[in-house]
Homo-oligomer: A and B are copies of this chain.
Amino acid sequence: MKRKITLKHIARELDVSISTVSKALKNSEEIGQDTKEKIQAFAKLYNYRPNNIAISLKNKRTKNIGVIIPDIVHHFFTTVFRGIEQYANNKGYNVIVCVSDESFDKEVINMEMLANGSIDGFIMALAGETQLKNDFNHLKEVTEQGIPLVLFDRVTEDVQCDKVIINDEEAAYQAVKKLIASGRRKIALVTTEGYLNVSAKRAEGYFRALKEHHLPIDKDMILELPYQKDNEKKSEEFFRNRSIDAVLCVNEIFAVKCMGIVQRSGKRVPDDIAFIGFTDGILSRLSTPTLSSVDQHGELMGETAARMLIEKIERDHDQEEEEIFQTRIISATLVERESTLGSLK
């Protein structure tokens, strides 16, 4: 077992000082040609690599960024993560991921753990519980310490930092308009229980489109589903007892589940009912029929967040100018597939 070699080993072996070795390996002009060559050759032979931890301690920069997301199995977050990871890696940063599991406590613990020197900045989407509690002190503490923070998707106005979101309201509005244009009039909304934040904005877009076309807004046409658990019965009951010709769902899972229920009850998609979901993932592409879906461009979102964060990290050290926080809005786009094909009647 050949342990990692350090500057000290090289110095001792070659009978020079540590600082000479350090400089020689950086190809410093100060060092004589022959000494440099000798040292570089030795270093290469023993495959010397500087120790990241020591460099971090010295530079007070870790080249790590911390990502805290509510759930890694969720396709949207996975996609965002991919965007982050790719961009960050290109820039020489590594990514430490923590999953909050929608729990406030875990989010706090994870943040504190990472904030003590492990990372140069955070990218995160708030846990559901955090949004409910409306307690953002852990975020504020971090920013007050001067650690850059970028929020994406699940954001809050209570914290001053960079943000990346999509135009949820507008995207939902456009989706519903599309449904109306194809002759649908009885349009239901399937959303999350106690729908917050993102879901709420999508609901607003839904309402706006209905209003604009003088269609009635009926709370009875809104189905609220628990976030992670199954609730087939509630959904079945909903569709059984209502006359519905189109549905907007706040995610693709709800959409695909509801399409299944509706089809099993003998109705046809899109002939009898059209469906549009959010999150254009693998489910949308592979369901039968394929699902029209709002693409949230997760990868772009992640890349954008990473770019904003790294800019801030690398600027931070230069000058202490007035902090400017930006909110980037990414335009969602509707991907039309079979579930909205053709007009009604």
Q: Which residues of B have CB within 8 Å of A41?
A: none
Beyond A53-B118, A287-B287, whether A82 also contacts B75 by CB under 8 A is no
Q: Is the CB of B4 within 8 A of A145?
A: yes
Which single residue of chain B is at the shortest CB-CB distance from A143?
A: B1
Q: What range describes how many residues of A lie at the interface?
A: 35 or more
Q: Is the CB of A95 within 8 A of B94?
A: no
Which single residue of chain B is at the shortest CB-CB distance from A93?
A: B113
CA gap between A115 and B49 in the complex, in Å: 9
CA gap between A47 and B114 in the complex, in Å: 15
Q: Is the CB of A116 within 8 A of B73?
A: no
Q: Which residues of B have CB within 8 Å of A52?
A: 116-118
CA gap between A118 and B96 in the complex, in Å: 11
- Chain A positions 259 through 291: 1 when the CB is less than 8 Å from some CB of chain B, otherwise 0: 110010000000000000000001100111000
Q: Is the CB of A85 within 8 A of B99?
A: yes
Beyond A73-B79, A97-B97, A286-B287, whether A54 also contacts B117 by CB under 8 A is yes
Beyond A50-B116, A260-B286, A288-B263, whether A82 also contacts B94 by CB under 8 A is no
Q: Which residues of B have CB within 8 Å of A96?
A: 64, 94-97
CA gap between A57 and B1 in the complex, in Å: 21
Q: Which residues of B have CB within 8 Å of A144?
A: 1-2
| Other-chain residue from B78, B99, B263 in contact with A73 (beta carbon distance below 8 A) | B78
Q: Which residues of B have CB within 8 Å of A73?
A: 75, 78-79, 82
**Which residues of A (43-93) have their CB < 8 Å from a CB of B?**
47, 49-54, 56-57, 62, 64, 72-73, 75, 78-79, 81-82, 85-86, 89
| Other-chain residue from B54, B141, B287 in contact with A288 (beta carbon distance below 8 A) | B287
Beyond A53-B62, A56-B53, whether A146 also contacts B286 by CB under 8 A is no
Is there a chain B Cβ closer than 8 Å to A3's Cβ?
A: yes
- Chain A positions 277 through 318: 1 when the CB is less than 8 Å from some CB of chain B, otherwise 0: 000001100111000000000000000000000000000000
Return A131 CB to nearest CB of chain B, in Å. Answer: 22
- How many copies of this chain does one complex carry? 2
- Chain A positions 322 through 343: 1 when the CB is less than 8 Å from some CB of chain B, otherwise 0: 0000000000000000000000
Return A321 CB to nearest CB of chain B, in Å. Answer: 13
Which single residue of chain B is at the shortest CB-CB distance from A74?
A: B78
Is there a chain B Cβ closer than 8 Å to A240's Cβ?
A: no
Which among A56, A79, A146 has the highest number of chain B CB atoms within 10 Å? A56
Return A22 CB to nearest CB of chain B, in Å. Answer: 16
Is there a chain B Cβ closer than 8 Å to A98's Cβ?
A: yes
CA gap between A286 and B19 in the complex, in Å: 63
- A selection of 18 A-B contacts at a CB cut-off of 8 Å is A1-B144, A4-B145, A51-B116, A51-B117, A52-B116, A53-B53, A53-B57, A53-B117, A54-B57, A72-B85, A73-B75, A73-B78, A73-B82, A89-B98, A95-B98, A257-B286, A283-B286, A286-B287
Given A287-B287, A287-B288, 20 more A-B residue pairs with CB atoms under 8 Å apart are A1-B146, A3-B145, A49-B115, A51-B117, A64-B96, A64-B118, A72-B78, A72-B81, A72-B85, A73-B75, A73-B78, A85-B97, A89-B98, A89-B110, A94-B98, A94-B118, A96-B97, A253-B286, A260-B288, A263-B288
Nearest first, the 8 A-B pairs at minimum CB distance are A51-B117, A52-B117, A53-B117, A49-B116, A1-B146, A256-B286, A52-B118, A52-B116
